[in-house]
Amino acid sequence: MDTLVINGGQRLRGTVRISGSKNACLPIMAAAMLAEGPSTLHRVPALADIKAMAGLLGELGLRSDWQDDTLTLTVEDETPSHARYDLVRKMRASISVLGPLLAKRGRARVAMPGGCAIGARPIDLHLRGLEALGAQIELESGDIVATAGRLRGAEVYLGGPFGSSVLGTANIMSAATLAEGTTVIECAACEPELTDLADYLNAMGARVTGAGTPHVVIEGVEHLTGCEHTVIPDRIEAGTFMCAAAITNGEVHIDRVRLDHMMAVVDRLRAVGVIVEKADGGASVSSSRRLHAVETTTQPYPGFPTDLQAQLMALVCLADGNSVITEKVFPDRFMHVAELARMGAQIHKEGPTAIVTGCRRLVGAPVMASDLRASAALVLAGLAAGGQTIVNRVYHLDRGYERIEEKLVALGAEITRVST
């Protein structure tokens, strides 16, 4: 198992190029099985989750051909329909194969994903949506077994207690492309990754309108044809590097970023005292020496993303005054709090809210990564801390950040990966 050893205190300077979005890429890869003929995806990040999805699709009859960051997916065999538990357990986004399997092959057996470090992760909205399209769904030995003839267009409401569901919307949108008639999704998730999925589906011949809004209309078509698509830049990776620049009091140019996907993030970073400006097709990020405390609530897009909550928390550990961070998407997503406390952070948690009392300095310590974004927060804290920080269980980080230590080292950080 790898660890990262970070000698903190270096100011980051230079340019970092943002990779393609993991969360856009995963449901797009799954949707490739809807097509006749190969799909070629550009700017696919080399990440453990992407490899896991390619492995799962391999079991489902799709061949993956890689050339640098270009991936061509070709359907070779349409008989398999089983996404096994040991694959789904490793990566929850495996649930994205459910809609495409059902729409194209008429059957799907997908292991029911369990909970994970960020809390309970139900999939009732996915199932309710597919049932509305005409699927019969049963639970058998921990697997969701879904069958259908041709799906039928329907009105589907995807609102849940914590807003909509991103992958639920992806599943219903993908499945409805091949349904007979028109599907209307109300309370669809609006994340840019779903607009990217719709762009890919439309390039294959689908008729999806309204993606990126809560009201999405999909007119079903008879068949889809593979196409070429370039994945959008990863807004969560970009936000993480913005926090890295700010926490080290550095000056970083973020290349290939979509600031229009990051308005809430930029708003909160500016409130902290981070200077974010559009520059040369990207953004330049620097920070004032003193950071200000902020209040933030995570929300579905276009609100502040839950996937940057931990990183923002690491940043405001060093701000003047008390910051209040409330988690409204995954209310238990606070595993990083105890680890940040090991580095001297002062954080008081009260239900879904954390109150962070800024301190003058963090101190390096051995810490344990618990999930992907919590790990990123610990790396950020390590970059700013005095002394050495050892981040254990780096495999979480490898799921979602392409070559993170290489990118940080190129900006002047002192980080080494140690394989044990």
Q: Phi, psi (5° rounding) for residue 322?
A: -100, 125
Shortest Å distance, C-beta 399 to ligand UD1: 10
How far is the first Cα of the chain from the last one, in angstroms, to the nearest whole number? 5
Angle at 110 between CA 109 and CA 114, to 5 degrees: 150
Beta bridge partners of 255: 17, 282
Residue 93 vs 369, nearer CB to ligand UD1: 93
Shortest Å distance, C-beta 364 to ligand UD1: 28
Q: CA dist 279 to 14, 15, 43, 275, 410, Å?
A: 13, 12, 22, 12, 20
Residue 120 vs 279, nearer CB to ligand UD1: 120
Which pair of tokens denotes residue 358? Answer: 């800024």
- In the chain, the amino acid numbered 124 is D
Residue 102 vs 319, nearer CB to ligand UD1: 102
Catalytic residue check, 190: no
Judged by the rule CB under 6 A, the positions of this chain that interact with ligand UD1 are 23, 26, 92-93, 120-126, 160-163, 165-168, 189, 193, 306-307, 329-330
Shortest Å distance, C-beta 104 to ligand UD1: 21
Instruction: Say what the alpha-carbon torsion angle 232, 235, 237, 239 is, to the nearest 10 degrees.
Output: 160
Distance of alpha carbon 11 from alpha carbon 244, whole angstroms? 9
Shortest Å distance, C-beta 349 to ligand UD1: 18
The secondary structure of 181-199 as a DSSP string is SEEEEES----HHHHHHHH
Residue 216 vs 293, nearer CB to ligand UD1: 216
- In the chain, the amino acid numbered 69 is D
One of 25, 116, 227, 317 is an active-site residue; which one? 116
Shortest Å distance, C-beta 162 to ligand UD1: 3
Q: Is residue 13 classed as helix, strand or coil in its secondary structure?
A: strand
Shortest Å distance, C-beta 295 to ligand UD1: 20
How many CA atoms lie less than 13 Å away from 220 in the CB half-sphere?
19
Residue pair 266/259 in contact by the 8 Å Cβ criterion: yes
Residue 34 vs 93, nearer CB to ligand UD1: 93
Residue 142 vs 149, nearer CB to ligand UD1: 142
List active site positions. Answer: 116
